[in-house]
Structures are given as C-alpha cells and as structure tokens.
C-alpha cells in the first residue's frame, strides 16, 4: 500500500505519521523526485486546531478512494465563512462549506494534472473546473485561531473568473458602441429608421462574436470545439435580447416607471443569470480540455 505524506505548517508530535514541515505544501510535494511513491498528501494548517484523529479521517478516505479530493471542515456559522461559501457557489457552481479549509487530502495523480498549485484555494478552483470530485469530510475538532474575513489574495483568486467576465462584457460593449457610431456615420444618407436598424444589427453581431471569443478562451478557458458552444451562446444572446424587451415592456405597463431605469435593472439581472448559464451550460470545462 502506498504511503501518504502529511505536510504541516508548524512542527507537531505525530510519531505514527510521516510528517514534514513546509510553508507551501503543494510546491514542496511537487518538487519531490520520489512523489510517485506516495498515494497522495494531506495538508494541515496546525494553527486551526486540527488533530491527528482529523488527519487520519482524511487519510482513510483517501486510501478508500484515491480519485477524489477531500476537504476537512468544521461546522461554523460565522457570517464571513457563509458569505465566502455563497460567493464560491455563484462563481464556481459548487457548494463548499469551507473553501479556505486548512485540511486537504489530495491524490498524487490529481496534483500532477492540475498546474495551478501555488495556493490551496487556487488548486481547489482549478480542480473543480477540471471536473474532479471534491468531497467534504466533517471533522470533530473545533476551529481555533483567527476567524478573520478573507484576505485580498483570497478574494482575487475567488472572483478572478467573474472579474474577467465583467471586463469581457465591457470590451464587447465598447465594440458595440464604436461600431454603431461608425455605421451611423457611414450610412448617414439613408433613412434614419433603416440606418439605426442596420447599425444595431451590425454592431451587435460583431460585439457578440468578440464577447464569445473572449469568454470561451480567456474567461472560462474552454478548449473544446466551437460548433456546440457557439450555437448555445448565440441562442442565449437572442433569448436575453427578447427577454429584456419583454420584461421591460411588462414592468413599464405595470408600474409606469421610466423605461431606461427598468431596462438597467432587468439587464443587470440578466447579466448575472447569463454568467451562470455560460459557466454551467455553455463553456463548461472537462478533464480532457
């Protein structure tokens, strides 16, 4: 039976386990020449109060099934942790009780296939994007140490995909506006209705193509073909356009509020909804991407 290496951030007295002290467990393990001798690793933040019994619980899970990543979590109702969990679900479509856990068991095979290993949180996000199974294991120890809100580094890692999505949308908006104005200028001799319709269609088509390309390659890093995701994406664009027009008209008739204010609110809701749809159904990544 292959061994499991325990990597801690502070010296502990666990004589029955193979323990090393390393500030960055992921980097340390990947630097080992004999890492294939190990089934995997368990990384432990000793400052959070995890015990040898907690570590053994994750070791047993890893020995039973080495195709999964295991996270140890302690029941905690702190608002900051619940908010981080909610944000993690929205951004990465997975419900994780404690994405910043200090107790992780990771198989060697998965570690070697996920390049983003500079921090446990970034590794976890990358592994989820590659569709590896993540299982949470409740441990008995009560959380110790500071329960501070997320660091700026944590927040950047967590929201990086969504921030790129926002920037992609803004870029396509600029393309849309510039092309609209350019077409209006070039066809200024045409009837105003025809000119506006032509400018709207041309600018929207090109801006949608730009947005699709950026979202596929940069935001969601989908490396597959174009036929299926492109069909889904442009179907979503049409659906959002007609949904926006319908909802604005309905809300305006019911409330009498200004159409522009209604459109801003409706489009904001559709923006967040579109992110979830694109991430889950259009540009979902796979292990083989």
> Coil, strand or helix: which one is 70?
strand
pLDDT of residue 150: 55
| Strand ranges, E, within the chain | 3-8, 19-21, 38-44, 68-73, 103-107, 133-138
Short-list 105, 102, 130, 101, CA closest to 40: 105
Residue in the block written with tokens 């095979």: 109
pLDDT > 70 fraction of the chain, expressed in percent and rounded? 93
Q: What is the pLDDT of residues 68-119, one digit of tens each?
A: 999 998 876 577 788 889 999 999 888 898 888 889 999 999 998 886 667 8
The total number of residues written for the chain in this structure? 289
Q: Which residues touch 240 (CB under 8 Å, ≥6 apart)? A: 270, 274
Short-list 45, 59, 52, CA closest to 143: 45
| Residue 233 confidence (pLDDT) above 50 | yes
pLDDT of residue 117: 66
pLDDT of residue 285: 57
Most confident of 12-26, 54-68, 74-88, 254-268: 54-68
pLDDT of residue 76: 66
Strand partners, 43: 7, 104
Quote the mean pLDDT of the chain: 88
Residue in the block written with tokens 């105003």: 192
CA angle 222, 225, 231 (to 5 degrees): 95
Q: What is the mean pLDDT of residues 125-133?
A: 89
pLDDT of residue 141: 65
């Amino acid at each position: 039976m292959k061994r499991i290496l325990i990597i801690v951030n502070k010296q502990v007295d666990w004589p029955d386990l193979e323990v090393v002290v390393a500030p960055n467990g992921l980097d340390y393990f990947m630097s080992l020449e004999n890492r294939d001798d190990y089934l995997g690793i368990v990384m432990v933040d000793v400052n959070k109060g995890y015990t040898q019994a907690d570590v053994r619980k994750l070791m047993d899970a890893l020995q039973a099934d080495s195709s999964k990543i295991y996270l140890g979590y302690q029941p905690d109702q702190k608002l900051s942790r619940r908010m981080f969990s909610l944000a993690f679900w929205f951004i990465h479509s997975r419900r994780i009780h404690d994405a910043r856990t200090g107790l992780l068991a990771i198989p060697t095979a998965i570690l070697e296939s996920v390049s983003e290993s500079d921090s446990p949180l970034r590794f976890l996000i990358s592994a989820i994007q590659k569709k590896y199974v993540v299982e949470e294991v409740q441990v008995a120890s009560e959380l110790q140490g500071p329960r501070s809100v997320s660091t700026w580094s944590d927040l950047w890692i967590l929201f990086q995909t969504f921030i790129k999505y926002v920037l992609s949308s803004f870029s396509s908006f600029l393309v849309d506006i510039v092309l609209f104005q350019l077409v209006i200028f070039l066809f200024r001799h045409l009837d105003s209705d025809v000119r506006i319709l032509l400018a709207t269609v041309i600018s929207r088509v090109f801006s949608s193509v730009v947005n699709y390309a950026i979202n596929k390659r940069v935001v969601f890093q989908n490396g597959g073909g174009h036929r299926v995701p492109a069909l889904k994406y442009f179907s979503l664009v049409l659906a959002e356009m007609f949904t926006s027009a319908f909802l604005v008209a309905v809300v305006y008739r019911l409330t009498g509020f200004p159409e522009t204010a209604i459109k801003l609110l409706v489009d904001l809701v559709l923006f967040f909804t579109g992110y979830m749809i694109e991430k889950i159904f259009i540009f979902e990544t796979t292990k083989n991407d």
